[in-house]
Structure 1
């Protein structure tokens, strides 16, 4: 299903937690108002997930807070 959002021309940046060795990395783009695209850096031509900025910020806070560490 298409979204009508063109992700071809956006600028992507890797997570600051990326180890830089081609490991498990995500990339995000801040170039679209009201939408935060996220993709797998190992598959730049693959799909991207689209988040509301508030939802992404909430997810990042939860990760930093250890909510997904399996405990």
Structure 2
């Protein structure tokens, strides 16, 4: 993960907090807290990422 190129969504790029995403080797996607870049990161397989982002878009994680 040291060589990963992390980026923020254009929707949150102007905010100091949020999440960052990186495209990793073997078609994996990393997700981390932008305020704690040396902290833990989640790693998703492509199909898991698709399910996660679909659920987020549908409001499944809204409280």
- Same fold, judged at TM 0.5 (above): yes
Structure 1: stretches of 5+ with no match in the other structure: 1-6
TM-score computed with the length of structure 1 as normaliser: 0.74
**Distance of 2:38 and 2:9 partners within structure 1:** 18
Runs of 4+ in 1 over 3 A off after TM superposition: none
User: What corresponds to 1:3 in structure 2?
Assistant: none
Pair member with larger Rg: 1
TM-score computed with the length of structure 2 as normaliser: 0.81
Which structure is higher in strand share?
2
* Superposed CA RMSD: 1.6
Quote the offset at 1:69 in angstroms.
Answer: 2.3
Structure 2: stretches of 5+ with no match in the other structure: none
